[in-house]
Every structure is written in structure tokens, then in C-alpha cells.
Amino acid sequence: MARPPAAPTPAIAALVKAGVAHTLHPYDHDPGVTAFGDEVVAALDLDPARVFKTLVAAVDGRLVVGIVPCSRQLDLKALAAAAGGKKAAMAAVADAERSSGYVAGGISPLGQRKALLTVVDASALDGTTVYVSAGRRGLQVELAPADLIAVCRARTAAIAAG
């Protein structure tokens, strides 16, 4: 049985402050699971194309956030191009956690500690809602793709592969 969060996360606070309609979806996170997106899909019985993972990469030495469906991979070359750079590599987990203020597996694109350039895969616009981490493992938030893009001050581009 899923339990509600003990306190609002910075992601939830950002949505409330922006007046964005959203729905929280708690689920029981298994500490032994590291395929976080797959766990969300199974626990909440969702379409994997609607559940988005938040990844942090270094593009020409600066951190950039890429948001792609959990069923696909981040295309680093496409992310670099969308960010106006030449070369991208996944950021170290410690750098992603430090920059975002969240732990891996619970990194939300919303309410991050440091505002980073954010790119949402264009496929997010294919549906009426998307799911992203609400800022902790075991908690997803459902919201309109346009609201995700607006609150994150993101741009969209085809950055998913596979």
C-alpha cells in the first residue's frame, strides 16, 4: 500500500507556487530497485511512454537537464545540440544530486536547487499529461506537459533515442 509523503518536496512547492494543477501518485519504493522508471510503471500501472525520467548531463562542461520517457534513452548528441553545445556526457551522480538537491531515483525536474538549462523530449507533447518524479523515490507527480515546460522554463527537442 502506498503512503502519502510526509512533507512537501521543493518540486511540489514549486507547482503550488506556480498555481499548476497536478496529481500526486505515491507508491512503495523497493530500496533494492535501481531501475526507477520501470518500478514506477509497474507500481502505478502506467504507460512507459508517459513516465519521464530526469537526467543530468554535462554539455561542454556545464550541467544540463534532459527529460525523456523512461522507456527510452537520452540521446546525448541531440541534447548537446538542443543546448547549443557540441559534446555531452552523463554527469556524475554526485554532481546531479548536489546540483538538483535530490537523490538519484528521486531527481525531479521541478524545484531544483540550481536552475539549469532544461530540455524536455518533444514526445511529452503527445499526451494530455506526463508523470515525473515529485522529488523523492516513491512519489510521482502527474501534470500537463505545457505546465512542466513552463515551470522548468524548458525547451523541447527530440532528445530521446531507442
Q: What is the pLDDT of residue 1?
A: 46
2-11, 76-85, 97-106, 111-120: least confident range:
2-11
Mean pLDDT (the chain) is 94
pLDDT of 2 over the 60 cut: no
Q: Name the pLDDT band for 6 (thresholds 50, 70, 90).
A: low
| pLDDT tens profile 10-57 | 999 999 999 999 999 999 998 888 889 899 999 999 999 999 999 999
Q: What is the pLDDT of residue 8?
A: 86
Residue range 10-161, CATH number: 3.90.960.10
158 grid coordinates: 527530440
* 21 contacts: CB under 8 Å, gap ≥ 6: 143, 144, 147
More confident position, 33 or 66: 66
pTM tops 0.75, yes or no:
yes
* Sequence spans of domains, the chain: 10-161
* 48 contacts: CB under 8 Å, gap ≥ 6: 37, 38, 41, 69, 70, 71
Q: Are 131 and 50 in contact (CB under 8 A)?
A: yes
| Helix 10-18 vs helix 145-152: crossing angle, to nearest 10 | 100
